[in-house]
Amino acid sequence: MAPLQTPRGTPPRAPCLAALALGLGLCSVAAGAGPALWGYGVKPCREFLAAAPGDAAPAAVSGAEYLRYREWLAGFVTGLNLATAADVLAGAELDAALTSIHARCQARPGDDFFTATMSLIRSLGRTKAKGAAGKGAKGKTE
């Protein structure tokens, strides 16, 4: 089969070049956009605070929306634990973590749930590192 020819007898370069430029442009837009984020982690803290049970109510009687945040946190923490081979909550229970995230969201309601979660995890990591450094220093003898 003969290659496609224009009326002048040359290959149709303009449509191919236009398609290539469009494709490269879309790739660069997608590459600059960053990773796609899904789930309850991208919801604003305001929405988490609205779903959270009151101070007097136990987490067990909370609504379905709050439980979705709890399940998102459980999956996120499990993924981090598997990826890092460490307990990123440093022994804390999920409900204790949610209480801390709640306080962080109250302080910064414009943040998203992911940011509040990572703030907690980073602070627990710093606390754990300080504790390990302190234990190491006590164990040294000269």
pLDDT in tens, 82-113: 999 999 999 999 999 999 999 999 999 999 99
Q: How far apart are CA 107 and CA 1, in angstroms?
A: 70
Among the ranges 43-47, 52-56, 129-133, which has the highest mean pLDDT value?
43-47
Taking the domains of the chain in order of start, what are their residue ranges? 40-136
Tell whether the model's pLDDT for residue 29 goes beyond 50. Answer: no
Tell whether the model's pLDDT for residue 63 goes beyond 60. Answer: yes
Alpha carbon distances (Å) from 47 to 42, 60, 75, 122 = 10, 19, 19, 23
**What three-state secondary structure class fits 126?**
helix
Q: How far apart are CA 107 and CA 91, in angstroms?
A: 24
